[in-house]
C-alpha cells in the first residue's frame, strides 16, 4: 500500500498505521480511511458506494492477502 498511488499513510505509531484511500491519483476525494493494527485491517467509508470502491481497490492491491469478514453500517445517531 505504501507504493500505490491511491494510498497515503497519514499516521504511523507503535506498529499501527492509518491510510487514506483516494478515489483518483489527484488525491482530491477520500473514499476510505484504513486502519492497520495487529494484523487486522478496518476500512471506514461514508457511504456504500465508497465502501464498494474501497473493497475493489483493496482486493486488487492485496489479492489473496485479504479476506473480507463483515460490512457494518453505523448510523450517526448510534455514534452519539
pLDDT lower than 50: segments of the chain: none
What pLDDT does 80 receive? 59
Position 30 scores a pLDDT of 95
Among 53, 55, 32, 56, smallest CA distance to 44 is for 32
Q: pTM higher than 0.75, yes or no? A: yes
Q: 61 vs 28, 29, 34, 40, 66, CA distance in Å?
A: 20, 19, 14, 16, 9
Pair 62, 47: CB distance under 8 Å:
no
Helices (H), 1-80: 48-62, 76-79
The pLDDT, as a whole number, for residue 6 is 95
Cβ-contact 47, 61 below 8 angstroms: no
Amino acid at each position: 500500500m505504501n507504493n500505490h498511488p491511491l494510498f497515503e499513510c497519514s499516521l504511523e505509531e507503535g506498529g499501527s498505521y492509518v491510510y487514506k484511500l483516494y478515489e483518483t491519483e489527484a488525491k482530491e476525494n477520500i473514499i476510505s480511511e484504513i486502519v492497520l493494527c495487529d494484523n487486522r485491517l478496518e476500512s471506514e467509508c461514508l457511504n456504500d458506494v465508497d465502501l464498494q470502491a474501497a473493497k475493489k481497490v483493496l482486493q486488487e492491491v492485496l489479492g489473496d492477502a485479504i479476506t473480507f469478514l463483515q460490512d457494518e453500517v453505523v448510523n450517526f445517531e448510534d455514534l452519539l
